[in-house]
Amino acid sequence: MMGMGEPLQNYDNVLGAIHILHDDRGLKVPMTRITVSTAGLVPGIERLASEPLFPNLSISLTGVTNKTRDTLMPLNRKYPIESVMEVIRKLPIARQKRVMFECVMIKGLTDSPEDAERLSRLVSGMRVKVNLIPLNPAEEIPFERPDDEAILRFQEILIRNGIATFVRKNRGNDISGACGQLKKTTGGSKP
């Protein structure tokens, strides 16, 4: 459940949908195949942590410092990165294994070796995974995608620090339908 606003702001309906998807009389989807994506809405994560059923949890960090997150994700001003890490750190190991932190790789903003080291320290001791998402460029945003070498260097630092790390494969970029690109154009403008 992602790409449709913040699912944890619609908690009761999202949880109801999870129960229907998972139930033997529903679609029988295993909890390991259900993912809820959040920008880091801490009260919602805490509430989900107390549920008997726990889906995969994908947390969009985007950047790994409060300064960067404050700029890119204003929600961080209310729930800074430390509070997000604290709630995940409190999860039992079995649930931590179901958490993935997602970082958007933006050239010159979130792709430095220092950011990789900082992220390594933030998740140290947790059994989480990290998904690196190379920015999908769009005309409307002033950011660029880093080169592959920078992304692989970032990944290498995390792996060297014992963190399971993946780089998301780019799909849909050719039709402006990749992660972060979905949009509607009006008039004669091109997507």
Q: What is the pLDDT of residues 156-189, one digit of tens each?
A: 999 999 999 999 876 555 545 545 444 445 555 5
Alpha carbon 111 to chain centroid, angstroms? 16
pLDDT tens digit sequence for 54-86: 999 999 999 999 999 999 999 999 999 999 999
Q: What is the pLDDT of residue 54?
A: 96
- pLDDT at residue 182, as a whole number: 44
Cα 72–170–135 angle (5° rounding)? 20
- Predicted local confidence at residue 184, as pLDDT: 45
Give the 3-state secondary structure of residue 166. strand
Fold of 7-172: TIM Barrel (3.20.20)
Q: What is the pLDDT of residues 123-159, one digit of tens each?
A: 999 999 999 999 988 777 889 999 999 999 999 999 9
CA distances from 104 to 64, 82, 121, 128 (A): 10, 18, 18, 17
Please check whether residue 48 is in contact with residue 8, taking contact to mean a CB–CB distance below 8 angstroms: yes
pLDDT at residue 52, rounded to an integer: 95
pLDDT at residue number 185: 52
- Tokens for 36, please give them: 């809820």
- The enclosing H or E element of 101 equals strand 99-105
* Rounded Cα distance, 7 and 44, in Å: 9
3-class SS of residue 32 = helix
